[in-house]
Structure 1
Amino acid sequence: MAPPSTPLLDRVRTPDDLRKLREEDLGQLAAELRAEMVDAVSVTGGHLGAGLGVIELTVALHYIFDTPRDRLIWDVGHQAYPHKILTGRRDRIRTLRQGGGLSGFTRRSESAYDPFGAAHSSTSISAGLGMAVARDLSGGDNKVVAVIGDGAMSAGMAYEAMNNAGALKSRLIVILNDNDMSIAPPTGAMRAHLARLVSGRTYLTIREAAKSFTSRLPRFIREKARQTEEYARGFWTGGTLFEELGFYYVGPIDGHNLDHLLPVLKNVRDADEGPILVHVVTQKGKGYAPAEASDDKYHGVGKFNVVTGEQAKAKANAPSYTRVFATSLVQEAERDDKIVAVTAAMPAGTGLDLFGEAFPARMFDVGIAEQHAVTFSAGMAAEGLKPFCAIYSTFLQRAYDQVVHDVAIQNLPVRFPIDRAGLVGADGATHAGSFDVAYLGCVPNMVVMAAADEAELRHMVRTAAAYDEGPIAFRYPRGEGVGIDLPERGEILTIGRGRILREGTKIALVTLGGRLQEALKAAEILETHGLSTTVADARFAKPLDTDLVLRLAAEHEALITVEEGSIGGFGSYVLGTLAEAGRLDDGLTVRTLVLPDRFIDHDRPDAMYAGAGLDAPAIVAKVFEALGRRPVEKRPRLGQAGS
């Protein structure tokens, strides 16, 4: 299929080119930008709906503000695909989320037009306020604009930042992209007129004159006048909450109507008011019928057919880990009505949408509020329920204090299903589950499990459901399982007990989590070199199966641990156990394979693991390095290819 015709967009390489256009041409530019984005994402996959919803807003912001001198922060960063096209990256947009290509989020190292990276949500107002204060202290006069939306306003951090901004009174512009109608009803011409009026210089001048006049009146009259003005404006525009936080509120306005957007953005750009919030209402997936009809299905997409909207589906030989978790949890919940599920704005991503369909009264989506999700779960656990608080590994980091203080110190039996363990492919470093074993394993009372395959995950769901002695976590990778048969129902595992899958005599490979299959492949290769190899799945990082570790250490010449996590995790616990037992001083060779001490860019997962040294060839190489040997190259027999 031929790419869309974009004669006007072809003239725009950077926002400087955009600002040379006539205002009356911006509608056509927006239409071409929307077509270009749909076509590009159909090739690469990625976040679609949110970007389509901010096409006109993106055009208007770059037209009115002097970017990159004026700082423009996108929150969440997956709204920024149109922004990337307009800021010198159009020629690479079809490398989005591919190895060596553009990031799916804003990224400081990628462009001067990305002043702050945002892949986790609700950070823009804090970062923008920091930039505004730095500008003020250095005597600058540039503008700072934070665009916050696609659910990011549901997190407490955004309100903490707004409270601080209202107190500091620094010049900061916040654009609230309200794309789910959760805050205000649909907008119309009267709303747009009022927004233009209250953001305009005439109104602000009159308001300042009134303030000057009332400043000479008795205090109680001054306060009544201020309250009356704020009440009247709040009544007509609906911004009372933001006014109370110290922001001057403008809106709501139609985020797809450039005739409404442009004059309001001009007004707030030129105003001398302190922090200002502009409330813009948009439609997720705007302008692309399949995405408009199903904004959840088209939030994040794989490759798809532009004409039909049909998404390409990979040929799966096994169910995804996420689905195995969800169906296993539903199965346990059918037998135990105390089981409840909690997610932080990721019902589909965690699989809990299936749980919600089966048990709507026992499923809780708290929004992008991981801290609240954990303490909310702790409260339910304190009253005898069995909460499964399902949060991606990378997002659970945001609630670490709550895990420690509200769950672990009180030894409350909150269950933590941790999706996206290890490297995650196209979403890259910001979404990788690299640190959870290290940051959870050091917390007293915490049990930490890791599923090596989909059957193990089913066992761990049942184990967690049955465990009432304190908090318990189980981690599992993104993507499909390995294709083994699933038991009808999981077994309750013995806490702290691993398993041996292959017996050998010389090398012991001990894995935690999803690298088990690579270890089994490595064992096959090592056997061809005369190295009899044992492969064990630890199952538990904490409590560690010390009996298994010490037995393997006693019976093998070398012991290699393999995990899809950072230093400080499973391998560190094994080393500590061996050191305490004095096994490191008696000739045993030990190596730990972990993720390297760097953030790993987006790519195919297999390429990422190969680059990280955690695939079968890398495991084999580590064994020979540990033994101080080189693998013997197999010479082909006469008559074979290459002889």
Structure 2
Amino acid sequence: MKELTEIENPSFLKDLSIDELNELSANIREFLINSLSKTGGHLAPNLGVVELTIALHKAFNSPNDKLIWDVGHQTYTHKILTGRTQFFNSLRKYKGLSGFPKLSESEHDVWETGHSSTSISAAAGFVYSRDYKNEDHHVIPIIGDGALTGGMAFEALNHLGHSGKRVIVILNDNEMSISKNVGAFTRMLNHMRTSKKFKRAKRISSSVLSVESHLFDLTKRVKESIKTFMMARNIFEDMGFTYYGPINGHEISELISTFDYCKQLNEPVIIHVVTKKGHGYEPAATDQVGVWHGVGPYELETGKFLKKIDENKRSWSKVISEALLRLAKIDERIVAITPAMKNGSALNQFAEELPDRFIDVGIAEQHAITFAGGLAISGMKPFVSIYSTFLQRAYDQVSHDLARQNLPVVVGIDRSGIVGGDGETHQGIFDIAMLRHIPNVNIIMPRNAREAFNMLYSAFNRNELTFIRYPRGNTFFDIEDDFKFQMIKKGTWTTVKEGNELIFITYGPSVDYIADIIKKHHLNATLINARSIKPLDKQLLKKLLRSNLPIIIFEEAIKIGGLNSAILEFASDYKLRSDHIYSLGIGDAFVPQGDKKFVYKDLNLDEDAILMLVELALLNKKNEESKEKKDTVLWQKRNG
């Protein structure tokens, strides 16, 4: 048996027996539990697919056969089998091993992802390309039951099922996405898992699958007859797929025999595989909330997380959810909506205390937004909690359904800004640029917990479409503080500090980041909390632009279309000078994974970059003043 660090590619699996494959499975599971206890990462999803991944690489020939992983956070075993074990100490770190499939890492990663429900659509592209070019290989999208609740997955199933083209879809059914799955589709899968008819048919058909390949046609007819006799058709068959399962996703021999059989079919196939998320590590396997979906370092023996949050701090998600719960207890019209992120968005307590006003719609961001619109137009006060990176998926619903009808929905944009280890697919840097040009949209971001409480209160009371951004991470918060909610005047900024040499304009927690730099280096600077990104504080902004002091705009977001663009547009509209405006933000690029300090340095947003720009701005101001003085002297000489 090879050591895991000796594996270069999956070809060695072809020579291993079932017993040896099971031994490999145990080794990989042990490695993942140990390795991730140090680095953190997506533990539970990966423990659930160890045997499934081994069986896939045993039965198919990657990279010629195309394994297309949905979401992609469950590809750690795939990475081990394709020669990347030695890089796991750098998992999700700056310039380290990605936690998702990455084209630049391996030829076996044929499709990059990070969002859910994309794999079957991508597979359709691979399938059509293969057939256009008269190639002969298998295309195998692997999608979870949570991701299958996303509408895009059903669009792709509808297309491929109708096409009749050869494809093998693996449905990895573990009853979880991040939180527990919800919805009618989940109930249907649960029925399929537990139905006595299904179980009996599965036992019979599993024995049929072991028939030698020269009896292939007879096997197929017998299996179809069994299914027709034993049970009604299911939704997959109605969509044009031949359905096999449910089968045990932790039985390698059963998986391989099913895959080998289905490889011979020239039609769309779905194989329903039942796995256990967190399988093999009790703390993760018994988690019904989603705590072990993505984790930081933990104590191996006890499962106790090593990172501790100070008693006087709470996550930003928790701050917003606490404010929401307090307001909902005052106003019975307030409801909370999440697209399968109850745990990630810290809405657990809301769901426990006000279960009738908490709605999890599954992985369906588009539906969540339009559903909120329907509630709003009917007199309710919906709050949609959604990650910045996932809000991108609902652009049309925001524009067409909410903004165009000017509906009073409040959207909490969680994970706004740099998010760290999840990397390019999850950085929350595009939402401002995506939203700012849409009419009837308000975009705000609090500096601290108290401002967050008041912003949420103001948003509900203004009855306008409002987006409240808040980052990943923690902030100071006294949960016992029973302060009174206060209205914040729409489109207003605050002056945090007065200075005479230059001006900083920023928003959110970046206000305190800049404040610390100003204090540390004794900068004679004005600091503006631009808490309303849309609309701008026109009165204050005019005053700032007319001061002729250097203005540095700092934002942890893409500059194109961000606050920087908004201020330059404002200056142009009001014929105010803008040549003294300097911008620090994210350029025209996707942002890689890594600790914030390393990413900031890469993006020239770190302290050194800020001080260099301050020096340049002050030097330019000095040169400008010197030139003006010289011009004045010359004019005086010429005019006596």
Unaligned runs of 5+ in 2: 177-185, 623-640
Q: 1:238 to 1:451 in 2, by over 3 A?
A: farther
In structure 2, what residue type is equivalent to 1:111?
A: S
TM-score, normalised on structure 2? 0.89
**How much does 1:157 deviate?**
0.4
Q: Which secondary structure does the structure 1 equivalent of 2:15 belong to?
A: coil
Q: Which secondary structure does the structure 1 equivalent of 2:82 belong to?
A: helix
- Does residue 547 (structure 1) correspond to residue 542 (structure 2)? The answer is no
In structure 2, what residue type is equivalent to 1:343?
A: T
Higher mean alpha-carbon deviation, 231-240 vs 605-614, is at 231-240
Give yes or no for contact 1:108–1:117 (8 Å, CA) kept in 2: yes
String of CA shifts for 1:239-284, please: whole Å, max 9, x gaps.
Answer: 610011111111111111122111101111222x211100001111
String of CA shifts for 1:433-492, please: whole Å, max 9, x gaps.
Answer: 111111111110011101222222122111122121x31101011001157996724422
Q: Which secondary structure does the structure 2 equivalent of 1:310 belong to?
A: coil
The corresponding residue for 2:598 is 607
The corresponding residue for 1:185 is 193
C-alpha separation in 2, matches of 1:425 and 1:283 = 28
Q: 1:589 to 1:238 in 2, by over 3 A?
A: farther
The corresponding residue for 1:577 is 570
In structure 1, what residue type is equivalent to 2:502?
A: I
In structure 2, what residue type is equivalent to 1:467?
A: R
The corresponding residue for 1:283 is 276
Q: 1:556 to 1:237 in 2, by over 3 A?
A: farther
The corresponding residue for 1:598 is 589
1:74-223 aligned at under 5 Å gives the runs 74-149=69-144, 151-180=146-175, 182=186, 183=189, 184-186=192-194, 191-195=202-206, 197=208, 205-206=217-218
Give yes or no for contact 1:512–1:570 (8 Å, CA) kept in 2: no
The corresponding residue for 2:626 is none
Give yes or no for contact 1:496–1:540 (8 Å, CA) kept in 2: yes
Identical counterparts, % of pairs = 39
The corresponding residue for 2:29 is 34
The corresponding residue for 2:306 is 312
C-alpha separation in 2, matches of 1:594 and 1:199 = 60
**How much does 1:513 deviate?**
2.2
Higher mean alpha-carbon deviation, 507-516 vs 12-21, is at 12-21
Q: 1:405 to 1:235 in 2, by over 3 A?
A: farther
Higher mean alpha-carbon deviation, 486-495 vs 362-371, is at 486-495
In structure 1, what residue type is equivalent to 2:284?
A: A
Give yes or no for contact 1:499–1:538 (8 Å, CA) kept in 2: yes
C-alpha separation in 1, matches of 2:164 and 2:249 = 26
Q: 1:24 to 1:543 in 2, by over 3 A?
A: same
Q: Which secondary structure does the structure 1 equivalent of 2:514 belong to?
A: helix
Unaligned runs of 5+ in 1: 1-5, 211-228, 632-643
Q: 1:422 to 1:199 in 2, by over 3 A?
A: farther
1:44-443 aligned at under 5 Å gives the runs 44-149=39-144, 151-180=146-175, 182=186, 183=189, 184-186=192-194, 191-195=202-206, 197=208, 205-206=217-218, 233=227, 236=230, 240-271=234-265, 273-295=266-288, 296-316=290-310, 318-443=313-438
TM-score, normalised on structure 1? 0.89
Give yes or no for contact 1:525–1:620 (8 Å, CA) kept in 2: no
**How much does 1:62 deviate?**
0.4
Give yes or no for contact 1:498–1:537 (8 Å, CA) kept in 2: yes
Q: 1:11 to 1:501 in 2, by over 3 A?
A: closer
Give yes or no for contact 2:422–2:593 (8 Å, CA) kept in 1: yes
In structure 1, what residue type is equivalent to 2:350?
A: F
**Alignment equivalent of 2:561, drawn from 555, 568, 573:** 568
C-alpha separation in 2, matches of 1:622 and 1:235 = 75
Higher mean alpha-carbon deviation, 340-349 vs 180-189, is at 180-189
Q: 1:208 to 1:104 in 2, by over 3 A?
A: closer
C-alpha separation in 1, matches of 2:229 and 2:475 = 54
Q: Which secondary structure does the structure 2 equivalent of 1:77 belong to?
A: coil
C-alpha separation in 2, matches of 1:125 and 1:196 = 29
The corresponding residue for 1:223 is none
C-alpha separation in 1, matches of 2:210 and 2:349 = 45
Q: Which secondary structure does the structure 2 equivalent of 1:571 belong to?
A: helix
Give yes or no for contact 1:148–1:175 (8 Å, CA) kept in 2: yes
Give yes or no for contact 2:533–2:563 (8 Å, CA) kept in 1: yes
In structure 2, what residue type is equivalent to 1:578?
A: A
Higher mean alpha-carbon deviation, 44-53 vs 620-629, is at 620-629
Higher mean alpha-carbon deviation, 36-45 vs 552-561, is at 552-561
C-alpha separation in 1, matches of 2:18 and 2:209 = 22
The corresponding residue for 1:222 is none
Give yes or no for contact 2:291–2:343 (8 Å, CA) kept in 1: no
Q: 1:482 to 1:203 in 2, by over 3 A?
A: farther
Q: Which secondary structure does the structure 2 equivalent of 1:46 belong to?
A: coil
RMSD: 2.4
**How much does 1:230 deviate?**
7.1
Count of residue correspondences: 601
C-alpha separation in 1, matches of 2:519 and 2:37 = 40
Higher mean alpha-carbon deviation, 479-488 vs 599-608, is at 479-488
C-alpha separation in 2, matches of 1:607 and 1:480 = 19
C-alpha separation in 2, matches of 1:167 and 1:570 = 46
Higher mean alpha-carbon deviation, 389-398 vs 6-15, is at 6-15
C-alpha separation in 2, matches of 1:250 and 1:283 = 19
Q: 1:374 to 1:235 in 2, by over 3 A?
A: farther
1:488-503 aligned at under 5 Å gives the runs 488-503=483-498
**How much does 1:425 deviate?**
0.7
